[in-house]
Chains A and B, each alone.
Chain A
């Protein structure tokens, strides 16, 4: 009798584990982190957004392209649409060598917005990214298909070729030396320069010239 009970219990255990192993879905992953999620809701510090009354950092540079037309993945922007390029100092995580490797570096990320304030995706891969190369030891990359490839002989001040990988896709990435200081004044200059380079590039792309009209001439810069 005991043996039967034991065997029955063992069988029940096995069946239970087997059935539960077929349970259709895992519970949703909890988001709770190690540091207790008790943020500063009583003050503006609940968010790292600039608090009310502050303005964005001077490093943010806006450059408007009036009446520009860009063909984004086959989607043409309407005639006369304003396009705003926002240059933002940032650290970017970029795909590197290997499936689980990326490079994290300081950079200027440029995003585009249309007149309605909606983001325009310039690059399906990594947006539009530019980094200011330092004269010495700077390594410059550009997005070529899915891979970042080094650009030879890029120097500071040079009109860096921002390659159009696909229509509407522009990307340049420069790996900075680690001691490059990240300061607001430098970032302003870098961002402005980057935005100008983008415009120059837009103007010199033969495939897009007819769509750009004279956007470079109409371009104005407006540091905030």
Chain B
């Protein structure tokens, strides 16, 4: 039976899983900015990249910097290029997961039978094609980047710890772990919640031997270096871009943006009963997202890690619990996506569990061994194919052209000087993107009424659009003081169903008395 050498096992599993899911991602990729569920923020993020600006809090500087690099690549619509980048990051996040799983599998040091490698790749692909992961991988979003950096950081921490244990230093890996954790925090601040997990992996040996500083110091230095991506926010804000949430070029406003001040009220807002119900629902998500098939593998993997890699068990357990906790207490349209790290942990433990089963079978009779060696990968791949074909058509955003068509139609035909009043993400974000990427229609202003109360937003509109900002447009309109050369139009978005196709967009003129 062909085998994969131990040193290539993780890369082979991770790369093959990544390649497989990448095909699915590209086949279902959104063509631009979208309205659909997971991708509503895509218009805001893409518009911010287009103007070198600051998207909604917490600013996501890592994603912005990667986006600016993609912006420099000429061909194609910028939103499409960013969607491709997101898909690459999402698929790429399976590589560190594969590497990590290979390092902690029970038969580390031994080569990996090809059927087992296929089964391991299928488990990771099941994670990659989980509806929650898949839907966030095919349109510009931040979670794929956060996942990529988080799991890369944990893998690097494991390498650092292993190197230190064998007297080979490990400082470089520790620096890398810190840098990756910082970059991950720049992709989504919840990645910082995993810092204790990295500390457990990096430092627990050192604490016993009082040599923890040998890895702690370079890791901390790396973390500081990685977090320098946040400098992007004040620098970008100082150029006064037209997308400049919070204008974070003062210390106070910078902290307001990176700490997500405007969203703090969404933490723990619901009553205890609802919170328990939500926690219960989220606890069931791993099975719903990854199928029942992984449950026995997960259990065996957990037992195996308890015996052989307690630090990794503790670290990954912390990552899963903290993700579930944040997902429980935070309330937003897409709060469920915060449990993605927990799903990844289930996938890694399941790979470990599968290796444990394979190892145990090695001691069994060859007939049973052969049977299981063929059955397990077949079962997992069949599950993968069934789920991909079941969920793919519903998750696919290939035809999600509505948001772009809406924004283009509005902007092309808006009166010269028009001010478009919006109060829905689905109106504001695609209009921002169309307004600031296509050029032209510089005499049209998009005014989101929900942001009007913020001083930074009114000042931004005053500078960029030259409209009165001391009194609200409606008040000026009612008193007849609104400038006639800036006709006001209300853009309404009404959802009549669950699909983007059910969205009805209307444009109404508002006239003075």
Residues in A whose Cβ lies below 8 Å from that of B283 = 16-17, 20, 23
Q: Find A180's partner among B280, B413, B505 (CB 8 Å cutoff).
A: B413
Query: How many angstroms between the C-alpha atoms of A182 and B472 in the bound complex?
Result: 25
Residues in A whose Cβ lies below 8 Å from that of B295 = 14, 17-18
The smallest C-beta distance from B267 to any residue of chain A, in angstroms, reads 12
Residues in A whose Cβ lies below 8 Å from that of B512 = 54
Q: Find A53's partner among B277, B492, B513 (CB 8 Å cutoff).
A: B513
Contact yes or no, B409 A106, CB < 8 A: yes
Contact yes or no, B506 A90, CB < 8 A: yes
Contact yes or no, A102 B413, CB < 8 A: no
Residues in B whose Cβ lies below 8 Å from that of A90 = 506-508
Contact stretch, chosen from B124-132, B160-168, B496-504: B496-504
Interface size counted on chain A using CB atoms at 8 A: 70
Q: A32-B332, A99-B501, A104-B402 are in contact. Are A21 and B478 (CB under 8 A)?
A: no
Residues in A whose Cβ lies below 8 Å from that of B284 = 17, 19-23
Q: Find A33's partner among B410, B421, B424, B478 (CB 8 Å cutoff).
A: B424
The smallest C-beta distance from B342 to any residue of chain A, in angstroms, reads 10
Residues in B whose Cβ lies below 8 Å from that of A92 = 504-506
- Does B44 sit at the interface, judged by CB under 8 A? yes
Query: Could you tell me the dominant secondary structure of chain A's interface residues?
Result: loop
- Does A11 sit at the interface, judged by CB under 8 A? yes
Contact yes or no, B302 A100, CB < 8 A: no
Q: Which residue of B lies closest to A8 (CB)?
A: B303
Q: A43-B472, A98-B399, A104-B402 are in contact. Are A13 and B299 (CB under 8 A)?
A: yes
Residues in B whose Cβ lies below 8 Å from that of A23 = 277, 280-281, 283-284
The smallest C-beta distance from A110 to any residue of chain B, in angstroms, reads 14
Query: Could you tell me the dominant secondary structure of chain B's interface residues?
Result: helix
Q: Find A27's partner among B278, B423, B499, B502 (CB 8 Å cutoff).
A: B278
Contact yes or no, B511 A48, CB < 8 A: no
- Does A181 sit at the interface, judged by CB under 8 A? yes
Contact yes or no, B507 A54, CB < 8 A: no
Query: How many angstroms between the C-alpha atoms of A82 and B429 in the bound complex?
Result: 42
Q: A27-B281, A91-B409, A104-B405 are in contact. Are A7 and B303 (CB under 8 A)?
A: yes
Q: Which residue of B lies closest to A184 (CB)?
A: B509
The smallest C-beta distance from A13 to any residue of chain B, in angstroms, reads 6
Contact yes or no, A100 B399, CB < 8 A: yes
- Does A157 sit at the interface, judged by CB under 8 A? no
Residues in A whose Cβ lies below 8 Å from that of B478 = 44, 51-54
Per-position 1/0 for B291-328, Cβ under 8 A of A: 01001101110110011000000000000000000000
Contact yes or no, A104 B475, CB < 8 A: no
Q: Find B475's partner among A18, A43, A99 (CB 8 Å cutoff).
A: A43
Contact yes or no, B303 A6, CB < 8 A: yes
- Does A165 sit at the interface, judged by CB under 8 A? no
Q: Find B513's partner among A18, A27, A29, A54 (CB 8 Å cutoff).
A: A54
Q: Find B449's partner among A10, A45, A91, A178 (CB 8 Å cutoff).
A: A45
Q: Which residue of B lies closest to A26 (CB)?
A: B281
The smallest C-beta distance from B141 to any residue of chain A, in angstroms, reads 11
Query: How many angstroms between the C-alpha atoms of A33 and B332 in the bound complex?
Result: 7
Contact yes or no, B298 A40, CB < 8 A: no
Residues in B whose Cβ lies below 8 Å from that of A100 = 396, 399-400, 499-501
Residues in A whose Cβ lies below 8 Å from that of B41 = 34
- Does B453 sit at the interface, judged by CB under 8 A? yes
Contact stretch, chosen from A56-64, A166-174, A194-202: A56-64
- Does B415 sit at the interface, judged by CB under 8 A? yes
- A40-B474, A44-B475 provided; 16 other pairs, C-beta below 8 A? A10-B300, A14-B296, A23-B284, A35-B450, A39-B423, A40-B449, A45-B475, A54-B512, A89-B507, A92-B506, A93-B503, A102-B501, A104-B406, A104-B505, A106-B507, A182-B507
Which A residues have a C-beta under 8 Å from some C-beta of B? 6-7, 9-11, 13-14, 16-23, 25-27, 29-40, 43-48, 50-59, 88-93, 95, 98-106, 178-184, 187
Which B residues have a C-beta under 8 Å from some C-beta of A? 40-41, 44, 56, 262-263, 266, 274, 277-278, 280-281, 283-288, 292, 295-296, 298-300, 302-303, 306-307, 331-333, 335, 396, 399-402, 405-406, 408-410, 412-415, 421, 423-425, 428-429, 448-453, 472-475, 477-478, 490, 492, 499-513
Can you report 17 A-B residue pairs in the complex whose CB atoms are below 8 A from each other? A14-B299, A23-B284, A27-B277, A30-B332, A30-B335, A38-B453, A39-B423, A40-B449, A44-B475, A45-B472, A47-B474, A91-B409, A93-B402, A178-B413, A179-B412, A181-B413, A182-B413
Task: Across the A-B interface, give the 4 residue pairs with the lowest CB-CB distance, nearest first.
Answer: A45-B474, A21-B287, A20-B284, A48-B490
